[in-house]
A and B are shown apart, each in its own frame.
Chain A
Amino acid sequence: MRFPSLSLAVCGLSLALAGCGQPPEPKFALNAKTAALTPPAQQLITEALVENFGTPNNLVAWQELPIDYGKGNPAADAEHRQHDGWRLKDGRDLYMVHCLHCHGVAGDGNGSTARFLNPRPRDYRQGKFKFKSTAGGTRPTHDDLMRILEEGIPGTYMPSFVLLGKEQLGLIVDYVRWLSMRGEVEEALAIELAQVGLKSSDLERTWREKKAEDKAITLDAVRDELLAEVKSAWTETVAEKAKDVVDFWNEANNPENLVVPQEKRTASDAESIARGRALYLSKENKCSDCHGPAGRGDGPQTEQFAAIDGASPARNYDEPGLRDAWGNVIMPRNLTRGVYRFGRRPLDLYRRVHQGINGTPMPGFGKTLKDEQIWDIVNYVLSIPYQEGTAPAAEDVAGGEALPETASR
Chain B
Amino acid sequence: MSLNSKSFWRTAAWMGCYSLFLAGAVSFVLTPPKSAEAQGLHPVQTAAATQVVAPALAEAAVAFADGGKVTGSVTFSDDFKALAPLVAKGQATKDPAVCGANEEIANEELVVNPENKGIANVFVFLPKAPSGFKAGKPDKELVFDQKNCRFLPHGLCIQAGQSVKVLSDDSVPHNTHTFPLRNAGFNQTVSPNDRKGIDLKYTKAEKLPIEVKCDFHTWMKAYHLILDHPFMAVSDANGKFEIDGLPAGKHEFTVWHEKKGYLDKKLVVEVKAGESKAVDLKYGAKQFATFEGPRPKTTVVSLTK
Asked if A368 contacts B189 (CB within 8 A), the reply is yes
Asked if A365 contacts B189 (CB within 8 A), the reply is yes
Asked if B188 contacts A57 (CB within 8 A), the reply is no
**Contacts A20-B27, A307-B219 hold; do A14 and B44 have CB atoms under 8 A apart?**
no
Stretch at the interface among B65-73, B153-161, B207-215, B239-247: B207-215
Partner pick for B191 among A52, A93, A247, A368, CB 8 A cutoff: A368
Q: Which residue of B lies closest to A361 (CB)?
A: B215
**B282 interface residue per 8 A CB criterion:** no
Partner pick for B207 among A29, A136, A192, CB 8 A cutoff: A192
Stretch at the interface among B35-43, B115-123, B130-138, B142-150: B35-43
Q: Which residue of A lies closest to B33 (CB)?
A: A22
Asked if B93 contacts A304 (CB within 8 A), the reply is yes
0/1 interface trace, chain B 11-40, chain A, CB 8 Å (1 if under): 000100110111111011001101001101
Docked pose: A364 CA to B179 CA in angstroms = 15
Partner pick for B50 among A64, A83, A306, CB 8 A cutoff: A64
**B4 interface residue per 8 A CB criterion:** no
Docked pose: A306 CA to B221 CA in angstroms = 12
Q: How far is the CB of A333 from chain B (nearest CB, A)?
A: 15
**B3 interface residue per 8 A CB criterion:** no
Q: Which residue of B lies closest to A289 (CB)?
A: B216
0/1 interface trace, chain A 153-175, chain B, CB 8 Å (1 if under): 00000000000000000000000
Q: In A13-46, which residues have CB < 8 Å from any B CB?
A: 13-22, 25, 29
Asked if A62 contacts B49 (CB within 8 A), the reply is yes
**B299 interface residue per 8 A CB criterion:** no
**A268 interface residue per 8 A CB criterion:** no
Asked if B186 contacts A136 (CB within 8 A), the reply is yes
Stretch at the interface among A237-245, A270-278, A334-342, A383-391: A237-245
Asked if A57 contacts B181 (CB within 8 A), the reply is no
**Contacts A115-B303, A283-B192 hold; do A136 and B218 have CB atoms under 8 A apart?**
no
Asked if B25 contacts A361 (CB within 8 A), the reply is no
Stretch at the interface among A214-222, A259-267, A309-317, A343-351: A309-317
Residues of B near A18 (CB, < 8 A) are 20, 23-24, 27
Docked pose: A84 CA to B46 CA in angstroms = 9
0/1 interface trace, chain B 188-228, chain A, CB 8 Å (1 if under): 11111010001100001001100101011011010000000
**A10 interface residue per 8 A CB criterion:** yes
**A92 interface residue per 8 A CB criterion:** yes
Docked pose: A356 CA to B43 CA in angstroms = 42
Docked pose: A137 CA to B187 CA in angstroms = 8
Asked if B43 contacts A85 (CB within 8 A), the reply is yes
Q: How far is the CB of A283 from chain B (nearest CB, A)?
A: 7
Q: How far is the CB of B94 from chain A (nearest CB, A)?
A: 6
Docked pose: A304 CA to B214 CA in angstroms = 13
Q: Which residue of A lies closest to B24 (CB)?
A: A17
**Contacts A137-B187, A192-B207, A356-B187 hold; do A13 and B21 have CB atoms under 8 A apart?**
yes
Q: How far is the CB of B88 from chain A (nearest CB, A)?
A: 16
Docked pose: A362 CA to B185 CA in angstroms = 13
Docked pose: A357 CA to B220 CA in angstroms = 20
**B61 interface residue per 8 A CB criterion:** no
Docked pose: A19 CA to B27 CA in angstroms = 8
**B63 interface residue per 8 A CB criterion:** no
Residues of B near A58 (CB, < 8 A) are 37, 42, 45
Q: How far is the CB of A350 from chain B (nearest CB, A)?
A: 15
Residues of A near B46 (CB, < 8 A) are 60-63, 69, 84-85
**Contacts A83-B43, A85-B46, A89-B44 hold; do A136 and B304 have CB atoms under 8 A apart?**
no
Q: Which residue of A lies closest to B199 (CB)?
A: A367
Docked pose: A309 CA to B303 CA in angstroms = 22
**B305 interface residue per 8 A CB criterion:** yes
Q: In B163-181, which residues have CB < 8 Å from any A CB?
A: 171-173, 175, 177, 179-181
**B2 interface residue per 8 A CB criterion:** no
Q: How far is the CB of A233 from chain B (nearest CB, A)?
A: 11
**B258 interface residue per 8 A CB criterion:** yes
Docked pose: A69 CA to B49 CA in angstroms = 14
Q: Which residue of A lies closest to B25 (CB)?
A: A17
**B60 interface residue per 8 A CB criterion:** no
Q: How far is the CB of B21 from chain A (nearest CB, A)?
A: 3
Q: Which residue of B lies closest to A83 (CB)?
A: B43
**A188 interface residue per 8 A CB criterion:** yes
Asked if A137 contacts B24 (CB within 8 A), the reply is no
Residues of B near A362 (CB, < 8 A) are 187
Q: Which residue of B lies closest to A7 (CB)?
A: B17
Docked pose: A348 CA to B189 CA in angstroms = 19
Q: How far is the CB of B89 from chain A (nearest CB, A)?
A: 19
Q: Which residue of A lies closest to B259 (CB)?
A: A312
Residues of A near B40 (CB, < 8 A) are 57, 89, 92-93
Q: Which residue of B lies closest to A194 (CB)?
A: B261
Asked if A283 contacts B23 (CB within 8 A), the reply is no
**B141 interface residue per 8 A CB criterion:** no
**Contacts A61-B46, A195-B207 hold; do A304 and B218 have CB atoms under 8 A apart?**
yes
Q: Which residue of B lies closest to A52 (CB)?
A: B47
Residues of A near B221 (CB, < 8 A) are 307, 314
Question: Which residues in B have some Cβ–Cβ distance to A below 8 Å?
Answer: 10, 14, 17-18, 20-25, 27-28, 31-32, 34, 37-38, 40-53, 93-94, 107, 109, 171-173, 175, 177, 179-192, 194, 198-199, 204, 207-208, 211, 213, 215-216, 218-219, 221, 258-262, 290, 292, 303-305
Q: Which 6 A-B pairs have the closest CB atoms?
A: A85-B44, A17-B24, A137-B185, A137-B184, A14-B21, A363-B175
Q: List 23 A-B contacts (CB under 8 A).
A: A1-B10, A7-B17, A14-B20, A58-B37, A61-B45, A84-B43, A110-B304, A137-B187, A236-B52, A242-B50, A251-B184, A286-B173, A301-B216, A312-B260, A313-B259, A314-B107, A322-B215, A356-B188, A361-B175, A364-B189, A367-B188, A368-B173, A368-B190
- Contacts beyond the supplied A304-B94, A316-B218: 13 A-B pairs with Cβ under 8 Å: A13-B21, A14-B22, A16-B24, A29-B305, A57-B38, A69-B44, A69-B46, A89-B40, A137-B186, A239-B52, A240-B52, A284-B191, A312-B261
Question: Which residues in A have some Cβ–Cβ distance to B below 8 Å?
Answer: 1, 7, 10-11, 13-22, 25, 29, 51-52, 54, 57-64, 69, 80, 83-86, 88-89, 92-93, 110-112, 114-115, 135-138, 188, 191-192, 195, 197, 235-236, 238-240, 242-244, 247-248, 251, 283-286, 289, 300-301, 304-307, 309-310, 312-314, 316, 322, 356, 358, 361-368
